[in-house]
Amino acid sequence: MIGRSAFGLGSWNTWDRMDFGDAVALLRTAVDAGVTLFDVAHYDMGPHAEGSDTDVIFGKAVREAGIAREDYVLCGKLWLWDHPRTGFARQLETSLGRIGTDHADLVVVGDYLDRPDVPRLVTEVAEQVRAGRIGGWGVNNWRADDLDAALAFADREGLPAPEFAQLKYSIARRSMAEGPHYGKHWGRLALQASDVFEGGVLLGNHAPTRKIGADVGGIRASIVDASAELATIAAEFGATRAQLAVAFCLAYEPVANVLFGASRAEQLTDNLGALDLARTHGTEIRAAVNHLQADRGVSPDGSW
């Protein structure tokens, strides 16, 4: 299921940064272009407790766009910040209710500071699969040994195991996705690439005015330095920086889909051009930008 769409639109405050009519039009354009995976979460827990309505807006906009529920894949999130005090059943009741649907096709379980109780959370996820609220699940930036434990426990108990890992993966950040700790699972698991533009920094926006992902390993200054050279390399391929960044990810075999945020139709159209670019020049692109990796000294096992 995760492989149905090479691209996914992410929702970390995406939809509440847009005019509602533009959101409706963007969703319709996306689905008509074959972008049918939407990463939509309720961002009101832990460090994301900021009252965002992006999930509510998405639910209203997708209905206004006339997109049937069976025509897109909804990938939600289950947060571990407050787990197990706030259980998965309660989280799903809230998040699905806000979107206006009774199920998520997939969920990403993750974002933790304290080590999770792996058997408990795998068991709880299985309960939600059995209840029909979710179809499958993946992990988000887990320590690799916790993922190992989850896979082993699920196999031993005959429970649904993680199917994919949603990781920060980009031209600049490669250590987890390409390192041995996660790499041994590609084939069984798919890779869902996220934060591929480093919140826009990789594309030349060096002072984002919106909240962006954490600077894991403290390498963002190096990414700023790399962004100018990336523009030169992209021009050599007749591409934009965004297209090159997405094509780089698509050309890595474990990648099932690439998540990105788009708030304008022209951004979406530009990003879609990366598919042909990856097919025709993927190997060359990866070789051309190989030296721009900035996280070679960051631990690849997720113990950040």
- The CA distance from 221 to 201, in Å, is 10
- Asked if residue 119 has a cis previous peptide bond (ω within 30° of 0), the answer is no
Query: Angle at which helices 54-64 and 88-99 pack, to 10 degrees?
Result: 50
Query: Angle at which helices 20-32 and 54-64 pack, to 10 degrees?
Result: 60
User: Residue 14 maps to which CATH number?
Assistant: 3.20.20.100
Is 141 among the domain residues?
yes
Record the pTM.
Answer: 0.94
Is 53 among the domain residues?
yes
Q: What is the pLDDT of residues 38-76, one digit of tens each?
A: 999 998 777 777 778 999 999 999 999 999 999 999 999
Is 168 among the domain residues?
no
201: left (phi over 0), alpha (psi -120 to 50) or beta: alpha
252 pLDDT band (50/70/90 cuts)? very high
Check if the beta carbon of residue 57 is closer than 8 Å to that of residue 23: yes
Give the domain range for residue 13. 2-162
Mean pLDDT of all residues belonging to the chain: 93
Is 22 among the domain residues?
yes
Is 69 among the domain residues?
yes
Residue with tokens 């060096």: 206
Q: Provide, rounded to the nearest whole percent, the portion of the chain with pLDDT above 90.
A: 77
Give the chain's domain count: 1
pLDDT at 138: 98
3 pLDDT band (50/70/90 cuts)? low
Q: What is the pLDDT of residues 254-278, one digit of tens each?
A: 999 999 988 888 999 999 999 999 9
pLDDT at 1 over 60: no
Is 253 among the domain residues?
no
Is 89 among the domain residues?
yes
Is 29 among the domain residues?
yes
